[in-house]
Amino acid sequence: MTTIREKIVHLVTVDDLSSVQMMSSELGIPEEEVRTILTELTEKGTVNGQLTEDGKRYFRHDAKMSEAPVIERKQSVPDFMKFDPRPGKIAAIFGLALATIGAYGLVNAGDSIQMENFSAVLTLIGVVVTIAGSFYLTLRKTPS
C-alpha cells in the first residue's frame, strides 16, 4: 500500500496530474480509493492541496507558475465588424420620410398640377434614396 501512496505523490507533485480518474486508471485502483488516499496524504501534509467538491480533481496549492513568457496578443477586429451601417440607415430613413411627404402631397394636391408633379417627383426621389440606403446596408460582408 505504501507504493501506491508514493505513486500518487509522484503523480501529483512530479507529473502534475490533477484528474482522479486518470490516477485511478494509471494505478489500477478504484477512484474512491484514490480520493481516500489523497485526503489522507493531505491531512498528513505530504501533499498540499484539496479535492474539488465533486471529487473529480485534486488541485495543489504549491503549484509553480509556468516560466514561459506571457505573449501579448493584439486583438484585431474582423473585417465584417468594421462596417458602419449608420449611413445606410440614415439614408433609408430619410428616403422613407421623403416618400411619405411626397405621397401626402399627392393626396392633398387637389387641382394643382404643379403640386401633383412636385409631389410625384419627391415621392420618386424618396423611393430612390430608400433603395440606395438599403443597398448600402447589403454591402456588409458576412463572416466566412
CA distance 82 to 73: 19
At 17-38, the pLDDT tens digits run: 888 888 888 888 888 898 888 8
Q: Which residues pair with 49 in a beta bridge?
A: 60
CA distance 125 to 135: 15
Position 12 scores a pLDDT of 83
Which position has the higher pLDDT, 124 or 72?
A: 124
Position 14 scores a pLDDT of 81
pLDDT at 135 over 90: yes
Amino acid at site 7: K
- pLDDT band for position 144 (cuts 50, 70, 90): low
Answer whether 103's CB lies under 8 Å from 124's CB. no
Helix (H) or strand (E) holding 56: none
Position 5 scores a pLDDT of 84
Q: How many other CB atoms are there within 10 angstroms of residue 90's CB atom?
A: 12
Which set of grid coordinates corresponds to residue 7? 505513486
The DSSP secondary-structure symbol of 51 reads: E
Q: Which CATH class is domain 2-60?
A: mainly alpha
> What is the pTM for the complete model shown?
0.46
At 5-15, the pLDDT tens digits run: 888 888 888 88
The DSSP secondary-structure symbol of 82 reads: S
Helix (H) or strand (E) holding 71: none
Position 85 scores a pLDDT of 87
Taking residues 70-92, report their average pLDDT: 81
